[in-house]
Amino acid sequence: MRDLHLISHHLCPYVQRAAIVLSEKSIPHRRTYIDLADKPDWFAALSPLGRVPVLGTGGRVLFESQVIAEYLDETTPGALHPADPLERARHRAWIAFGSETLAAIGKLYSAPDEAAFTAAAGVLRERIERITPEVEGPFFAGETFRMVDGVWGTIFRYFETFDTIGDFGLMPEAVHMAAWRGAVMTRPSVQEAPPEGYPARLMDFLCARPSHLGGLARAACGTAANPV
């Protein structure tokens, strides 16, 4: 495969999709982290949407996380999708559902007050409950780790930090869901997808939010009552 350059941000969950595929398939690449609040000029020239991830390869540039993940999967040996076309399409549908679930997480940590937070938590909880009957275990579709598992790993990673702040009851009580989350989060590719120091960076990010969850995060960390 041509020289691959993944442009990333330390906290972006979407970049982690590409990182998981790169790790699962042992694809050589280099990675650059940028500050999205102070984007370098060269990045603005590369990214039509102005966001990460961006993958440079063979003098071309790819953007959008799932496009990048699919390209990496399709151009290397093996597959992180099922062979059956219908099952493959079903996995892709639940990946799209995962993207919407990440958006629901954004609404949760941005909710300005307790009422909005409670409503956002309810929506997020419903989304997790909706996928529950689809999960076979130990991974989404049985014994084999698939791309859909990696996508949901980026969701469960948020929950690991949320759980240190409070018990928000986001995960269903179904035993197989706890087992799925455990199997995904102990997968080396999922563990290694974010850069070193990710949990602390995410907590700092939450503590800085002028939101209900931000206040809870600051209380959990014993920091100042108001964000800087």
| Residue 83, C-beta contacts closer than 8 angstroms, at least 6 positions apart | none
Paired sense of beta strands 4-8 and 30-33, if any: parallel
Q: Which two tokens stand for residue 225?
A: 């009552």
**Residue 12 known to be catalytic:** yes
Furthest-apart CA atoms within the chain: distance in Å: 54
Helix residue spans in the chain (DSSP H): 13-24, 41-46, 65-74, 85-110, 114-131, 147-165, 175-185, 188-191, 198-207, 212-221
Q: Which of 6, 12, 22, 184 is catalytic?
A: 12
**Which residue, 155, 217, 204, 207, is CA-closest to 180?**
155
How far is it, in rounded angstroms, from Cα 149 to Cα 139?
7
Residues acting as catalytic residues: 12
